[in-house]
Structure 1
Amino acid sequence: MRGVHDEPISTDLPHSPIAGFDLDMASYGLVKVIRRDHTDPASAYRWEPKRSFHAVARHNRARRDHRHAPSAFTNHGGS
């Protein structure tokens, strides 16, 4: 697909508790990268799901459930 950007995690755009330095706000990532030391780019990090992560999960779950639901047009042994 053209124009689709898929990046679930952006380690180069970490979250910062200081709003002016919160690069995660510009990230397309579905999870928030949180550095142990937000002032050290080499610091270890962990991640937490964002609201968008849960929204995508709900959407995909609904598509999966819809795809596996029995169709009203399926012939179940009748003629």
Structure 2
Amino acid sequence: MECPKCKCPQLDTINLSDQLPAHHCGMCQGHWIRAYEYEQWLETLGVEFKQTSIDYDIPLNFTPSDFDVKAALCPRLSQLYEEG
């Protein structure tokens, strides 16, 4: 899979905290987690997945990466994610 942010041709398969499967880009240091793998991981922890709305008024104190200036494509499907 190609990195959707920096277009590096290789994403490595890794495990994050508590064996959460993810894909890592060695060039931009991005991490990509597939929704279904996240849901399965939550189930192994005994946590029920609930879809909720996001409060966009929450103040976030962070500096975005230089690679985060545009929407990204799904690294597997090469298309924008659409909810619904």
* TM-score category (smaller protein): under 0.3
TM-score using structure 1 length: 0.26
TM-score using structure 2 length: 0.26
Rg: which structure is higher?
1
